[in-house]
Amino acid sequence: MRKTLGLFAVMAVLAGCTAPDTVRDYDRPSSPSATESTPLASAAPYTAIALRDVPGYQPTLAGDGGWISGELVDGGGNYSWHTESATGEYQPAEFAEIVFQRASEYAQIPGVLTFRGNNYRNAPTYGTADIKEKKLEIVWTQEIGEVRGDGSYWPGAGWTGQPLLVNWPEATRRAMGFADEFANKDLVEVIYPVFEGKVYRLDLETGKQTKDPIDAGCGFKGTGSIDPRGYPLLYAGQGLNDMDDDETTDDCPFRYRIFDLIQNVEVSGWEGTDPAAPRTEPEGWGAFDSSALVNAAADTLIEPGENGLIYRVKLNSEFDGKRVSVNPELTRLEYRTPSSEEFGIESSAVAWKNLMWASDNDGNLLCWDAQTMTVLWVLDVGDDSDASIVLEDTPDGPMLYHGNTLDKRGKAETAPDGVPDLTTNLRKIDGLTGEIVWQYDVPTQADYPNNGGELATPLLGTGEISDLVIYNVSKTTSTREGDLIALDKETGKLVWRRHLGRYSWSSPVAITGDDGHQYGILCDSGGIMHLFDPNTGYDLDAISLGRNIEASPAVYQNMIVVASYAKQIFGIRVS
pLDDT in tens, 299-344: 999 999 999 999 999 999 999 999 999 999 999 999 999 999 999 9
Provide CB contacts within 8 A for 551, sequence distance 6+. 156, 157, 158, 159, 160, 161, 162, 163, 506, 523, 562, 563, 564
Would you state the pLDDT for residue 3?
A: 30
Quote the CA–CA distance of 259 and 387 in Å, as a whole number: 26
CA angle in degrees (0–180, nearest 5) for 159-419-491: 60
Q: Which of these, 310, 339, 276, lies nearest to 77 by C-alpha position?
A: 339
Distance of alpha carbon 445 from alpha carbon 450, whole angstroms: 11
The residues, ordered by sequence, that sit 6+ positions from 368 with a Cβ below 8 Å of its Cβ are 81, 310, 333, 355, 356, 357, 374, 375, 376
Distances (CA, A) of 70 to 56, 309, 362, 374, 537: 11, 18, 18, 11, 43
User: What CATH code is carried by the domain that includes residue 306?
Assistant: 2.130.10.10
| Total structural domains within the chain | 1
Where is average pLDDT lowest: 210-219, 362-371, 405-414? 405-414
Q: How far apart are CA 257 and CA 221, in angstroms?
A: 13
Say whether pLDDT at 511 is over 80: yes
Cα 17 to Cα 529: distance, rounded to the nearest angstrom: 12
Cis status, amide bond into 160, omega within 30 of 0 = yes
pLDDT per residue over 27-84, tens digit each? 666 544 443 344 445 689 999 999 999 999 988 889 888 899 999 998 889 999 999 8
Task: Give pLDDT, residue 282.
Answer: 87
Residues 6+ apart with CB under 8 A from 222: 115, 159, 160, 161, 237, 239, 288, 289, 290, 291, 346, 348
Close Cβ partners of 369 (under 8 Å, ≥ 6 residues apart): 51, 354, 355, 356, 376
Measured CA to CA, the distance from residue 498 to residue 476 in angstroms comes to 11
More confident residue, 167 or 65: 167
Q: How does residue 212 score in pLDDT terms, banded at 50, 70 and 90?
A: very high
Q: Which domain holds residue 103?
A: 2-574
Task: Return the minimum-mean-pLDDT range out of 88-92, 141-145, 382-386, 557-561.
Answer: 88-92
Higher-confidence position of 345 and 39: 345
pLDDT, one tens digit per residue, over 84-99 is 876 555 555 455 689 9
Q: State what percent of residues in the chain have pLDDT above 90.
A: 81
Distance of CA 17 to the CA centre of its chain: 25
Confidence of residue 450 (pLDDT cuts 50, 70, 90): confident
Taking 80 as the threshold, does the pLDDT of residue 1 lie above it? no
Distance between CA atoms of 344 and 474, rounded to whole angstroms? 22
Distance, CA of 443 to chain centre: 24
Q: List beta partners, residue 443.
A: 423
Which one, of 463, 453, 465, 395, lies nearest residue 427 by Cα?
Answer: 453
| Strand ranges, E, within 230-343 | 233-237, 255-260, 265-271, 293-295, 300-304, 309-314, 318-319, 324-325, 329-336
CA distance 430 to 413: 32
Give the full edge-to-edge strand order of the sheet including 225-226. 225-226, 233-237, 255-260, 265-271
Question: Do residues 530 and 553 touch, judged by C-beta distance below 8 A?
Answer: no
For residues 263 and 267, give the distance between their C-alpha atoms in angstroms, rounded to a whole number.
9
DSSP codes, 21-36? BP--S--PPP---GGG
pLDDT at 146 (0 to 100): 97
Q: Return the pLDDT at 420.
A: 87
Q: pLDDT class for 284, splitting at 50, 70, 90?
A: confident
pLDDT at site 65: 85
Q: What is the pLDDT of residue 170?
A: 95
- The pLDDT-based confidence of 104 (bands split at 50, 70, 90) is very high
Average model confidence (pLDDT) for the chain?
91
Which candidate, 32, 4, 31, places its Cα nearest to that of 19?
4
pLDDT at 441 > cutoff 50: yes
Query: Percentage of residues in the chain with pLDDT exceeding 70?
Result: 90
Mean pLDDT lowest among 179-188, 202-211, 245-254, 522-531: 245-254
**pLDDT score of 2 more than 90:** no
- Give the separation between CA 568 and CA 575, rounded to whole angstroms: 22
- Which 3-state string (H, E, C) describes 508-555? CEEEEECCCCEEEEEECCCCEEEEECCCCCCEEEEEECCCCCCCCCEE
With cut-offs at 50, 70 and 90, classify the pLDDT of residue 249: low
Provide the pLDDT for residue 33. 44
Residue 20: its pLDDT value, please? 67
Spell out the alpha helix ranges (H) of 381-425. Answer: none
Mean pLDDT computed over 386-398: 97
Give pLDDT tens digits for 403-415: 999 999 988 788 8
Residue 465 pLDDT level (bands cut at 50, 70, 90) = very high
Of 144-158, 248-262, 560-574, which one has max mean pLDDT? 560-574
Instruction: Pick left, alpha or beta for residue 517 (phi over 0 → left; psi -120 to 50 → alpha; otherwise beta).
Output: beta
* pLDDT score of 19: 58
Instruction: Kindly report the pTM of this predicted structure.
Output: 0.94
